[in-house]
Amino acid sequence: MTEGCLSSTFTADGLACVRGERVVFTHLNFRLSSGEALFLLGPNGSGKSSLLRLLAGLLKPAAGQLAWDGRPVSEDREGHAARIHYVGHHDAIKPVLSVLENLRFWARLHAPEAGDARAQAALERFGLWHLREVPGKLLSAGQKRRLNLARLLAAEAPVWLLDEPSVALDRASVKTLEAVIAEHRAHGGMVVLSTHADIDLPEAGRLYLDRFAPKPVEAAEAWI
Amino acid sequence: MTEGCLSSTFTADGLACVRGERVVFTHLNFRLSSGEALFLLGPNGSGKSSLLRLLAGLLKPAAGQLAWDGRPVSEDREGHAARIHYVGHHDAIKPVLSVLENLRFWARLHAPEAGDARAQAALERFGLWHLREVPGKLLSAGQKRRLNLARLLAAEAPVWLLDEPSVALDRASVKTLEAVIAEHRAHGGMVVLSTHADIDLPEAGRLYLDRFAPKPVEAAEAWI
Amino acid sequence: MHRFANPARFLRLAAAIQPWTAGATLILLGLGLYFGLVDSPADYQQGESVRIMYVHVPSAWLAMAAYSTMAAASGVGIIWKHPLADLVAKAASPVGAAFTFVCLVTGSLWGKPMWGTWWAWDARLTSMLILFFLYLGHMALLNAFDDPTRGAKAAGILALAGFVNIPIIKFSVDWWNTLHQPASVSRVGMPAIDPAMLLPLMLMGLAFTTFFVTILLMRVRSEILAVKVRAIRLTQIHSVPGSATGELVGESLR
Amino acid sequence: MTSLATYFSMGGYAAFVWPSYALTAVVMVGLVVVTWRGLKAREAELKALQDVMPRRRARTHEGQGQ
Amino acid sequence: MSRLAEIVRRDLRLALRQGSDSVMVVTFFVLTVVLFPFGLGPEANLLERTSAGVLWVTALLASMLSLDRLFLADYEDGSLELLALTPTALELLVIGKVAAHWLTTGLPLIVAAPVLAVLLHMNADGFGTLLFTMLLGTPTLSLVGAMGAALVLGARRGGVLLSLLVLPLYIPVLIFGVGAIDAAVQGLPARGLLLLLGGMLMAALPLAPWAAAAALRQALE
Amino acid sequence: MSRLAEIVRRDLRLALRQGSDSVMVVTFFVLTVVLFPFGLGPEANLLERTSAGVLWVTALLASMLSLDRLFLADYEDGSLELLALTPTALELLVIGKVAAHWLTTGLPLIVAAPVLAVLLHMNADGFGTLLFTMLLGTPTLSLVGAMGAALVLGARRGGVLLSLLVLPLYIPVLIFGVGAIDAAVQGLPARGLLLLLGGMLMAALPLAPWAAAAALRQALE
Ligand code: HEM
Ligand SMILES: Nc1ncnc2c1ncn2[C@@H]1O[C@H](COP(=O)(O)OP(=O)(O)OP(=O)(O)O)[C@@H](O)[C@H]1O
Ligand SMILES: Nc1ncnc2c1ncn2[C@@H]1O[C@H](COP(=O)(O)OP(=O)(O)OP(=O)(O)O)[C@@H](O)[C@H]1O
Ligand SMILES: [Mg+2]
Ligand SMILES: [Mg+2]
């Protein structure tokens, strides 16, 4: 990985994650600088989604620490939230709001001054502008996913956390996603994404989560 | 496509589908015999999921007819339902039931006499037997999808309708799915599946749904 | 993970204290019952029925003390994330609920001869009933989640929010004119009660307290063991037979 | 005899006093029994589980025994 | 038939495992009835006169509250479409689900009612009739409510507020139920009113599952 | 601040467009109140004496039933986690959602209350106080209910569990609300009770959003 000069860093140090009283992974470290990307890989249930929620601040680590430019993330939760775009398994699309209304709400919450121009550009990029007045409930699976991804462009945030973002996308849309990610990185953004499919990100790091599975002793003592 | 001698056929004749007052596709025909498989392909929103729901009998065609061995499906809805396994976008997994209980319920509804042995074999096949006592709520995305697919093996049905079945599956599980489908076809089953990913089914037909999109004139008149 | 929680030390401590509190409970109960039922005078107004006081009042105290314990433990659990605290809260609520029930029923049994009715919708009685419902809600919430830690957190928040009810119970008799007796023992300054009645009341109060401590220790031990059991179960369940990470290798639990 | 009877009659309040004490006793004893049973059950369960674990280890990692 | 049993068994298991719906409904019932003395004041006389009405209104609300979700969970997690694709008539499925629902909520309600009647100082002459009206009335509530719940699912796709149809349908049950109890308390014959309640149950038994199944099919489109 | 407005605006739009909630709640309120004359019989005297209690108990139930879904939809479709990840304090979000909820349900309830009071033959002296108690009381109900709704997110059987948690906390509002109206009807000063209601609102205003936000954070884990 290359490192810029004026760049930020996002580091994890000895992270451990407990879900449902079970240790999912332990002793996980990584370091990410501006412009870099990280693939999370591993079989089903190895903790990719859990790690992404942890990085987003939705889950609290059972041990270890996340830091942004060396400062622990836990000290400034709202500041961290402002740095992040998270795309999870759920689409967060309101069935009765139109495509544009759905997107605009999120854009304004992230950046109140974000213009409608930005939302329009995001929808156009993901090929949804012609559907802007269609209510959310009439979208197909892939259209929903694209609307969800359009949030990434509707407001700026340096860190993108994407949980299997290519699910339900057709090939053309996967290409668009790859291009969008490349631009984000070119502008100094970071990307962490989990996937089982092939997504083409040049020079991305790879983190195999099954390697951080706890030894059974640790697992059985999760709590104690 | 090859055709067997004692085989059944599943045919669609001039199908049209209207969703939310919009024509999604028209004039769609196909013919499927025992042992055959059909890929539904096309960009997001082209109507793959809609077609699968139509084939399952959940949607009624706006025009055209489905037939099984030449007899219209609409004449015998319950008989048709008994022929079908449908795997959609939703997982239909009860969070408070264990993996085994979840599966067994569906197996028994389809075939009341279906033994527990069959459910066990299905879970083993999809690598879930060791999780049999875990409540559904604690499964990861891929584990849920595997449990959903295990229904296919827990009770017999000649027609499998699979809507993006490989979503969230890790590579090993995709291989298992391919093998399971191959066996099903070898025993004379039919498979219709939609996908954006690479799934390897030898000699499967391909239906590009965007080719059946209505011409703009038709679309405008859809309703009237 | 939470190594500082150190339940091993707690288990040792609990095992050491428990015989003493249990013994004290027996002695105090014996003395309290003797003075309460035999060697104390009947009230000049209430007659022999005053003896209900020696179980009614201590159980009322204990009901409130148990809730306070629960709320305090929940606070510790939420702020410092000490997992033992959550277990203490979980262990306390059924005990508190039981004594709230005793207070309600003995109060009713006392009310019939004294006020001529089993129940009145008076502020103290009502707030005590609400306390009972709060306990029930706490227990229901604890068990309403698949993930026990999640249940503990939600119930903890409820316990803290419900704590506003405790001062209401305590001071309702002072704030509103009610049917129920105002404080005569626990009020500021000298207790306005005959020493011959005060002695058994105090003995029973102490006995109930040591009883509570004994039961609480036992329940917390039990909860710790339950966590261990679940942890082992979970590793067994999730260990994929044959995979490198899944085998049940390792030392037995301490 | 009569003195005992007058004692148990509690000045006419027997029907209120004794049930109060009885209920309190039942609740206290009940709590003890339930708690004690629970504790013993969990101890037994834990022991049973721990008995299984080392044996498995002995099979997979010989030589690193207890 | 074994499929029907399987559905009932699953729904019972779900209800019990999910922290037992029945306990919750009874708790709601008890809590709401307890609210009334706070609202109306503790006078025994007033409470007695209102007791039958309060009990029935509350039972109605408790039933409605718990029915609201009857099909929703299955609809949202995709189970409903799979159920529609099993070789079972959807009407049968509805009957199975209503039966399970009544067993876990209606029955406990009936058990709790006399206790609450005592709390509200109801005249003891009314107890038998109270039980009887509840026994006849709560299954009707469950059936009609199931229809409403199914309509709500479909209503999400356009038609609004169909669920409001349900409450007016509950009103006759309420009137006859309370009327029968009041008659019994006053020593008048309650038989006619009880027969009316029974008649309503007989009418709802075939009609409600049919309507609910039709609504469910709509909802799945 | 503009974020708070944005949340209120979205929730209002959702509520209005889904057609259901506010209309549903008012309808529930009206229908339930109308049920009582059926349940209690039409005697004006009895109705008058119970009117304040019936109105308040029903308002309580209406508020509770509509709160059940306050966070649920956002939780289930993943909006809640995204809301937690915006650069806004979760407490603020809760306040925004409660405000929108009160505007769509509390306010219509207040508007409907005097009409129903007439229906129940309430003494006209009580009307002003009725409005005043509702104005002070319903926001407290919304706040406390929001806390309950947040606590039961992700629980099995949220709806009924919620009533078990929230109703006991509603009881003081009920007692003081009814007490104030009764006092006013009898020509006694109601000021002290109204102050108590106001005090409860003041206490709930910071406490409930804090507790709700804490509960939401737990729910998202
Ligand atoms: C169901 C009915 C009743 C309930 C729920 C109830 C509740 C309570 C509570 C919570 C306390 C503890 C107050 C404190 O420590 O500050 C208490 C104390 C007391 N109760 Fe009751 N009570 C009931 C009926 C009665 C009756 C009928 C009597 C006697 C006529 C009575 C006499 C007392 C006395 C003397 C105290 C001690 C007051 C003190 O010294 O602080 N209670 N009760
Ligand atoms: N419930 C619905 N009501 C009305 N219209 C719908 C509904 N669901 C989907 N549609 C519309 O029908 C069209 C086809 O949707 P469908 O889900 O079949 O597409 P798809 O080919 O499966 O797409 P994807 O690859 O994104 O899953 C889309 O344009 C969509 O907007
Ligand atoms: N809400 C939850 N509560 C408790 N445990 C959970 C929860 N969600 C997931 N788990 C468990 O945590 C582990 C990791 O799950 P996670 O969803 O992070 O896996 P994943 O790597 O994303 O898998 P997949 O590829 O299937 O999406 C799994 O074993 C799962 O059983
Ligand atoms: Mg995942
Ligand atoms: Mg699709």
Q: Which of C39, C23, C29, C67 is nearest to C208 (CA)?
A: C29
Domain count, chain E: 1
What are the two backbone dihedrals, phi and then psi, of residue B72, each rounded to the nearest 5 degrees? -55, 135
Pair B183, B205: CB distance under 8 Å: no
pLDDT above 80 (res C32):
yes
Q: pLDDT confidence of A219, banded at 50, 70, 90?
A: low
Q: State the Cα–Cα distance between residues B7 and A214, nearest whole angstrom.
A: 52
- Region C215-243: mean pLDDT is 79
Q: Give C67-84 pLDDT, tens digit per residue.
A: 999 999 999 998 888 888
Q: For residue A36, what are its two tokens?
A: 């870099």
Q: State the Cα–Cα distance between residues C80 and C77, nearest whole angstrom.
A: 6
pLDDT of residue C139: 93
Boundaries of domain holding C155: 17-181+193-253
| Beta-carbon contacts of residue C222 (< 8 Å; ≥ 6 apart) | C91, D35, D38, D39, D42
* Shortest CA distance from F30: residue in chain E: E167
pLDDT above 70 (res A60):
yes
Chains meeting D at 3+ CB pairs closer than 8 A?
C
pLDDT of residue E73: 79
Query: Given an 8 Å threshold on Cβ–Cβ distance, is C238 in contact with B135?
Result: no
Please give the sequence-ordered ranges of beta strands (E in DSSP) within chain A, or none if there are none. Answer: 9-19, 22-33, 37-41, 63-68, 71-72, 84-87, 159-163, 190-194, 205-208
pLDDT of residue C135: 95
Q: Which residue has the higher pLDDT, F16 or F129?
A: F129
pLDDT of residue E161: 54
Our mutation pick for probing the ligand 3 site, out of A50, A90, A162, A210, counting the most ligand atoms within 8 A of Cβ, is A50
Q: Using a 6 Å cutoff on CB, does residue A151 contact ligand 3?
A: no
Chain-wide mean pLDDT for chain E?
83
Residue C184 CA, closest ligand 1 atom number? 40
Boundaries of domain holding E216: 2-220
- Region F55-75: mean pLDDT is 84
Ion ligand 5 neighbours, Cβ < 5 Å: A 141; B 49
pLDDT of residue C242: 40
Q: State the Cα–Cα distance between residues A44 and A47, nearest whole angstrom.
A: 8
pTM exceeding the 0.90 threshold for the entire prediction: no
Residue A155: left (phi > 0), alpha (psi -120 to 50), or beta? beta
Strands across the sheet containing B190-194: B84-87, B159-163, B190-194, B37-41, B205-208
Nearest CA to ligand 1 atom 19: C57
Q: Please state, for a pLDDT cut of 90, what percent of chain A lies above it.
A: 60
Nearest CA to ligand 3 atom 29: A45
Q: What domains does chain B contain, in order, with CATH numbers?
A: 33-60+76-211 (3.40.50.300)
Pair C49, C110: CB distance under 8 Å: yes
- Region B78-105: mean pLDDT is 90
User: Judged by CB atoms within 8 Å, which residues 26-45 of E form the interface with C?
Assistant: 27, 31, 34, 37-38, 41-42
Query: Given an 8 Å threshold on Cβ–Cβ distance, is D11 in contact with C102?
Result: no
Q: Which residue has the higher pLDDT, E25 or C37?
A: C37
pLDDT above 50 (res F80):
yes
What's the one-letter identity of residue C208?
F
For the residues of F163-208, what is the DSSP string, one character each? HHHHHHHHHHHHHHHHHHHHHHHTT---HHHHHHHHHHHHHHHHHH
Q: Please state, for a pLDDT cut of 90, what percent of chain B lies above it.
A: 58
CA distance F158 to chain C (A): 8
Say if A2 is an interface residue toward chain B (CB within 8 Å): no
Pair C55, D24: CB distance under 8 Å: yes
Name chain D contacts of C110, Cβ cutoff 8 Å.
Answer: 16, 20
Name chain C contacts of B138, Cβ cutoff 8 Å.
Answer: 146-147
Residue C111 CA, closest ligand 1 atom number? 27
Which ligand does the CA of B137 lie closest to?
Answer: 3
Residue C162 in any domain: the answer is yes
pLDDT of residue E158: 36
Q: State the Cα–Cα distance between residues B185 and B187, nearest whole angstrom.
A: 5
pLDDT of residue C245: 34
Chains F and E touch (3+ CB pairs under 8 A): yes
Q: Nearest by CB to B93, which of E77, E88, E221? A: E77
Q: Using a 6 Å cutoff on CB, does residue A20 contact ligand 3?
A: yes
pLDDT of residue F125: 83
pLDDT of residue E195: 92
Q: Give F21-51 pLDDT, tens digit per residue.
A: 566 677 778 877 887 787 777 777 888 888 8
pLDDT above 90 (res B84):
yes
pLDDT above 80 (res A4):
no
Residue C186 in any domain: the answer is no
Residue E217: which H helix or E strand, with range?
A: helix E191-220
Domain count, chain C: 1
Q: Which of A210, A44, A40, A199 is nearest to B173 (CA)?
A: A44
Q: State the Cα–Cα distance between residues F19 and F132, nearest whole angstrom.
A: 28
pLDDT above 70 (res E60):
yes
Say if F218 is an interface residue toward chain C (CB within 8 Å): yes
Q: How far is the CA of A89 from the centre of ligand 4 (A)?
A: 8
Q: What letter would DSSP give residue B98?
A: B
CA distance B156 to chain C (A): 28
Q: Nearest by CB to B143, which of A20, A45, A196? A: A45
Q: Which residue has the higher pLDDT, B197 or C60?
A: C60
Q: Using a 6 Å cutoff on CB, does residue C224 contact ligand 1?
A: no
Pair A40, A7: CB distance under 8 Å: no
Query: Given an 8 Å threshold on Cβ–Cβ distance, is C249 in contact with D60?
Result: yes
Q: How far is the CA of A24 from the centre of ligand 3 (A)?
A: 8
ipTM higher than the 0.85 cut: no
Burial B207-219 (b: 16+ CB within 10 A, else e): bebeebbbeeeee
Q: pLDDT confidence of B219, banded at 50, 70, 90?
A: low
Chain-wide mean pLDDT for chain F?
85
Chains F and D touch (3+ CB pairs under 8 A): no
pLDDT of residue C15: 86
| Beta-carbon contacts of residue B28 (< 8 Å; ≥ 6 apart) | B12, B14, B15, B16, B17, B51, B64, B207, B209, B212
Which residues are E43's β-sheet partners?
none
* Shortest CA distance from C151: residue in chain A: A20
pLDDT above 60 (res A127):
yes
Q: Using a 6 Å cutoff on CB, does residue C180 contact ligand 1?
A: yes
What residue ranges of chain D have pLDDT lower than 50?
55-66
Name chain C contacts of E19, Cβ cutoff 8 Å.
Answer: 140, 143-144
pLDDT above 90 (res C155):
yes
- Region C115-126: mean pLDDT is 78
Residue B42 CA, closest ligand 2 atom number? 21
